[in-house]
Amino acid sequence: MSRIVVATIAGSDPSGGAGLQTDLRVFSLLGAYGQTVITALTVQNSLGVKRWQAVTPDLVKDQLVALFEDLPPLAIKTGMLANAEIIREVAQGLREYKPMLIIDPVMVAKSGDPLLKKDAEDALVKELLPLATVITPNIPEAEHILGEKITDIPNALEKLKKLGPQAVIIKGGHLSGENATDYLLHEDKVYTFSSPRVEGRVGHGTGCTFSAALTVFLAQGKKLPEAVKLAKDFVFLGLLGAKASPLGKGVSPLDHLVHFERLKEAPHILKELEEAAAYFCSYPVRPLIPEVQTNLGYALPFAQKQEEVAAFPGRIVAFGQGAHPVGCPRFGASRHIANVILAAGKFNHEIRAAMNIRFREEFLEKAQKMGFTVGEFSRADEPREIKEKEGSTLSWGVTEICKKLGFVPDFIADRGEVGKEPMIRILGKDPFEVVKKALKLLEGG
């Protein structure tokens, strides 16, 4: 198997939250063989940068030569370059070898500590930017490069492009707003990429993670807009993982291993769905099966798309006094059950499973008597723009209930409307929890 080889020219972060340690972790998770050229040794952790020392320029040069004489990287990203002398050595080598080049103009750490000497900024702009396939500054870095406050993003993109790079990304994490939006200028067109803002003391190594992921995706042959979208999604999941389980005492680095967990967990999700459905169908569950039949879904951790939720493509259908699943579970099999889980997951990332059952008032009454939480939404309250958008009702309904209650309930009642069967949906952390809640409704006749 031929491996894609990529490299990072960056400083070392002993805490693993940023720098070349983060770059290598991202390279590996995305299936690339990673190499390094070390420019500086830093003493830092999630609390901040305590001190750092640059590697001698000739040693940086020799590292770069060693890579290209043996296993030349297809793409290289730069991070912390420390000083003007190192930048000139790196630029000279890159002009000779001409790899795809992604420049993350690291100037200041997340903690606010400087990582680039002032005399090096001019060298970065004059020597390196004209060699770049794409540069990825955040707002403060872009302002440093341009020497002015940014008030017009498209205009700033154009000014940065005139400095020589083939394409420019301005990362918008420092801007205010509900979403974090990045801007790409590529082939005279401006693209925007947004994701929900992840609040809290998280984000150490965000820029390194983004540029490292972008490097791999470009090396894999993806077009720049697609590569930016994939890299942003990669960062977003890492931030969600960090918020759920912070690392360190300061600004938590991203939890990159959430990506590994998702890869590892996918086959287990399918197996658990099969086992939970078999358990459900071993009981006389016919009274729970609605006219449209039942489905049971289970999502990957921090799922964001319908394709990341597994369910039964043929549903679970009534069979005699019981039921039987049609087909084997697979990801992306049910838009409806996926929308329920995805909407609930935005309020509680631990809620990853759901199923729909027949609507009966006695089921709701029994659930409440047993101590389960119950919510209800009315399709009559659904805004016209939501109703007119195919497949949006369930996302809207679940979101409204969770906002109103402040949590994700065990049961959600939907009384339907003309042409829409009333339904109860059950939510939980895993399919066995959901199935056991459903079976409780059959107790005592």
Taking a C-beta distance cutoff of 8 angstroms, is the pair 274, 435 a contact? Answer: no
Cβ-contact 165, 134 below 8 angstroms: yes
pLDDT in the model for residue 110: 57
DSSP 287: G
Is the Cβ–Cβ distance between 160 and 154 less than 8 Å?
A: no
pLDDT of residue 380: 79
Q: Are 427 and 354 in contact (CB under 8 A)?
A: yes
The whole-number pLDDT of residue 272 equals: 97
One-letter amino acid at 312 equals F
| Residue 198 pLDDT | 92
Give the three-state DSSP class for 157.
helix
CA angle 323–329–330, rounded 5-degree value:
155
Q: Which of 295, 293, 300, 241 is nearest to 270 (CA)?
A: 300
Q: Are the C-beta atoms of 52 and 11 separated by less than 8 Å?
A: yes
pLDDT attached to residue 293: 96
Those residues with Cβ within 8 angstroms of residue 384's Cβ, 6 or more apart along the chain or in another chain: none
Task: For residue 279, count other CB atoms closer than 10 A to its CB.
Answer: 14
Cβ distance 334 to 295 under 8 Å? yes
Q: What is the pLDDT of residue 114?
A: 60
Whether 143 and 150 have beta carbons less than 8 Å apart is answered as yes
Residue 286: half-sphere exposure toward Cβ, Cα within 13 Å: 6
- Distance, CA of 11 to CA of 200 (rounded, Å): 26
pTM of the model: 0.89
CA 402/CA 346 separation, integer angstroms: 9
Per-residue pLDDT, 390: 66
Q: How many CA atoms lie within 13 A of 67 on its CB side?
A: 26
Are 39 and 84 in contact by the 8 Å Cβ rule? The answer is no
Q: How far apart are CA 244 and CA 286, in angstroms?
A: 39
Q: Show pLDDT as tens, one digit a residue, over the chain (445 residues).
A: 689 999 999 999 999 999 999 999 999 999 999 999 999 999 999 999 999 999 999 999 999 999 999 999 999 999 999 999 999 999 999 999 999 999 999 876 555 566 677 778 889 999 999 999 999 999 989 998 998 999 999 999 999 999 999 999 999 888 878 899 999 999 999 999 999 999 899 999 999 999 999 999 999 999 999 999 999 999 999 999 999 999 999 999 999 999 999 989 999 999 999 999 999 999 999 999 999 999 999 999 999 999 999 999 999 999 999 999 999 999 999 999 999 999 999 999 999 999 999 999 999 999 999 999 999 998 878 887 877 676 688 899 999 999 999 999 999 999 888 778 999 999 999 999 999 999 999 987 5
pLDDT of the residue at 112 = 58
What pLDDT is attached to residue 393? 86
Domains of the chain: 5-254 (3.40.1190.20), 261-440 (3.40.225.10)
Question: Would the CA dihedral through 212, 213, 214, 216 be positive or negative?
Answer: positive
Q: With both helix axes pointing from N to C terminus, report the angle between 84-97 and 57-70 in degrees, rounded to the nearest 10.
A: 20
For residue 249, the model assigns a pLDDT of 95
